[in-house]
Amino acid sequence: VPHIGWNQLKINSKNNQNILNGVETNDYFYFVHSYMGVLGDDNDLLASSNYEGLDIVAGMRKENIIGLQFHPEKSGEKGLRIIQNFIDLKI
């Protein structure tokens, strides 16, 4: 089932990297996808989102690779904050 629209993030407080500075659990972000990633290591989880009762990976980081399942460029002020965090990131 395609996941299209606004949904809340649940931040993984154990792995809150700089990329999510200024973002809080329950902030909304825009998703457009019909697939989901599965992590090999739960320590790589940055954030998840609940879609139709299923917790999906919304953000992950493995060493110097960061992936987001949502579209920060379409997610308003909080999304722009994440883009700025990317620019400021020192990996």
pTM above 0.85, yes or no: yes
- Across the chain, which distance is largest between two alpha carbons, in Å? 36
Lowest mean pLDDT among 5-19, 20-34, 72-86: 5-19
pLDDT value of residue 16: 64
- Write out the two tokens for 43: 């320590």
At residue 80, does pLDDT exceed 80? yes
Range 41-62 average pLDDT: 93
How deeply is 2 buried, as exposed, middle or buried, from its count of CB atoms within 10 A (0-12, 13-18, 19+)? exposed
